[in-house]
Structure 1
Amino acid sequence: METYRCTKCGYVYVPKTGDYTQDVAPNTPFENLPKTWVCPRCGALQKNFVRVE
């Protein structure tokens, strides 16, 4: 699973850890995040994330 970085604040979503702040279970791929999920650091929408190479 690939990681994604927020272009607004630099937060990195790591699928292995998920996002406990929004009840996203570990091992949840970025593509499977709920549509309502936003950056936990700055509130940016998913469209503001880019895949980390």
Structure 2
Amino acid sequence: MEKYECTVCGYVYVPNVGNVTNGIDYGTAFEDLPEDWECPVCGAGKYKFDLHDDSDNSDLF
């Protein structure tokens, strides 16, 4: 599954990790997130996320 990065704060949504503290189970694809889902760090909407380029293998938060 592909990772998506918030263009506002840099948070990376990783489907294999999910967002359990906000009710998103492990393995939930970005496309399957509710339309009203927001970045858990800055509150930006899904439309503020772009496909993450992890070719540099940088750490995710």
Match of 2:5 in 1: 5
Asked if the contact 1:22–1:37 (Cα under 8 Å) also holds between the matched residues in 2, the reply is: no
Match of 1:38 in 2: 38
Larger Rg: 2
TM-score scaled to structure 1, two decimals?
0.94
Match of 2:57 in 1: none
Unmatched 5+ stretches in structure 2: 54-61
Count of aligned pairs between the two proteins? 53
Deviates more, 1:6-15 or 1:16-25: 16-25
Identity of aligned residues (%): 49
Asked if the contact 1:11–1:39 (Cα under 8 Å) also holds between the matched residues in 2, the reply is: yes
Match of 2:22 in 1: 22
Cα-Cα RMSD: 0.7
Unmatched 5+ stretches in structure 1: none
Q: Which residue identity lines up with residue 51 of structure 1 in the other structure?
A: L
TM-score scaled to structure 2, two decimals?
0.83
